[in-house]
Structures are given as C-alpha cells and as structure tokens.
Amino acid sequence: MQAVRSPSPAFAGDRFTRTSYYSIDSVYRDYPDEDTYITCRGPLFSPCYDRYDISVSGIPMSTTVIAPTTAAAGMPWVYRAGFVFRDARSIRSCWPRAFTSSPPGNNNADGPLMKDWDTAYDYLIGHGFSKKP
C-alpha cells in the first residue's frame, strides 16, 4: 500500500514536511462466524489528514498545520496553544472541514513567544485562512 499524495497547498510554502495524522480511536467489527469482535485501529480504519510542518520566515521553529480533506468556505481554523494530541476529541471534530494550527516553539520550555504567534497568524491569514480562528 502506498500513500496517495496530492500537490502541496499554497500555505505550505517552499520548505515543509508533510506527514499523515490520524486518530487512535478503535473501530470494533463483529465477526459472527468466529463469535468475536475484532479491534481495528490506524489510518486504514479512521480518517487520515495531511499534517504540514511549515517554515515561516522570521520564526526559528516550524508551525504545524493539519489540513482537512475538504476545507469549508472561508478556510476556518483552530489556533491551538499546545500540541495536537491524537485523543483531542474537541479538535478532531473540526478536522473534516477546518484546519488546525499549532504555534511555533511548543517544544520551548516557556512555550511559544507572542511575536511568533503573531507572525504565524499573519502568515496563515495571508494565505487565505479566516481572520478569526
């Protein structure tokens, strides 16, 4: 099996890393012939999204954007203060139609700097994201 790659979106710029992002939810399938349920987990059994770690000029670390399969009109997005964990149900509910972004510098002990938040915000709205996350 091989991943299907589409052209990179304009917001990714020239320097980015694309990976896949999927939840850790389990799907249970009934197999009556075997009188059991089988646990199915992973990208074959749950929605899978493209995750971009993009380089934004003026920010020393990358900004993460998780892209929906089909974006809603106006490119709505969630600006998350921390890492996006696979079990973040409230954020995952947005993914089918909205983008999710984590600010740069989350692995800094003090968290992201305000100027980095502002630079990443300006970059994203400059690439068509909604002005109001």
Digit-coded pLDDT (tens) for 2-28: 666 678 888 898 888 888 877 777 888
- Global confidence as pTM: 0.77
Residue 132 lies in a domain: no
Residue 2 lies in a domain: no
Question: How many domains, in total, are found in the chain?
Answer: 1
Residue 4 lies in a domain: no
Residue 133 lies in a domain: no
What secondary structure, in 3-state letters, does 47-114 show? CEEEEEEECCCCCCCCEEEEECCCCCCCCCEEECCCCCCCCCHHHHCCCCCCEEEECCCCCCCCCCCH
Digit-coded pLDDT (tens) for 18-65: 888 777 778 888 989 989 998 888 777 777 788 898 988 888 778 888
Alpha carbon of 24 to those of 11, 63, 94: distances in Å?
27, 23, 16
Reading the block at residue 32, the tokens are 């009556």
Residue 5 lies in a domain: no
Confidence of residue 84 (pLDDT cuts 50, 70, 90): low
Report the mean per-residue pLDDT for the chain. Answer: 81
Domain boundaries, position 43? 10-126
- Report whether 43 contacts 27 (CB < 8 A): no
Report how far residue 125's alpha carbon sits from residue 133's, in angstroms, rounded to the nearest whole number.
9
pLDDT above 70 covers a percentage of the chain that reads 81
Report how far residue 49's alpha carbon sits from residue 71's, in angstroms, rounded to the nearest whole number.
12
Place of tokens 């493209």: 50
Residue 23 lies in a domain: yes
